[in-house]
Amino acid sequence: MRPHIVLFGDSITQQSFRSGGWGASVADTYSRKVDVVLRGYGGYNTRWALFLLNHLFPLVSEAPSPAAVTIFFGANDAALLEGTGKRQHVPLEEYKENLRKMVQHIRNCSPKTLVVLITPPPIDLDGRRVYARSIYGDKASKVADRTNEVTGTYADQCVSIAKELGLPSIDLWSKMQETHGWQTRFLSDGLHLTPEGNAVVFGELVKILDEAGFSDLPYDFPQHSEIDEENPASSFAQVCAV
């Protein structure tokens, strides 16, 4: 059985298997070596995601534990209490503790699983307003649902807990803002990712996975060029005997 990489997160993860998505790119990069399992839940925050842990990562299971898990939450936790996303808001300290609980649960399942924390992306307030007007017209709320400054504090806590627990992390909030015009280059609606935004996540994640040895994993079965055309059974003898 191939190793598994589980992508666990909110809508930015849920959408990652769309055309140009970062999850689809990871699956393509490690095709025939690793199975990439999508577990993205649009609109979820870390508080709600905790209820999924025992279902997605059971402590007692005959199935092998995932080789790696990405945890990509925070965009909804950082929703403002006075905005339209207030029901999704999670206080900053609770967000940090929820990430800690997720990591501890996965480590209890398998201490060898590589866990990667990913911060929420930056927020473009103008992009959010344009998006809201495109959906609700004149009825669109004039109160911001998120701000870049507040989201940045959640990103900081995500990076902080990763350092505390000795985990690799991707500071997407900072990384994207290093590029001029990030607001429209990387974000489609002030929050979710364009193909170029997806490429940033993919590029940063593959660096971590390759450093962990994923690029060196063997193919599950022989390449077609390696199959003995006269005696094909001999080419599968070893893998079929395992």
Which ranges of the chain does DSSP label H, i.e. alpha helix? Answer: 11-14, 22-29, 46-49, 53-56, 92-109, 125-136, 148-165, 172-176, 182-185, 195-211, 232-241
- DSSP class of residue 31 equals T
Contacts of 190 (CB under 8 A, 6+ apart): 123, 124, 125, 126, 127, 128, 129, 130, 131, 183
Find the catalytic residue in 11, 16, 25, 169: 11
* C-alpha separations of 197 from 207, 233, 235 in Å: 16, 45, 42
- Read off the DSSP letter of residue 8: E
Sign of the four-CA dihedral 3, 9, 15, 20: negative
Residue 45's identity, in one-letter code, is: N
Active site residue 11: yes
Query: Which are the catalytic amino acids?
Result: 11
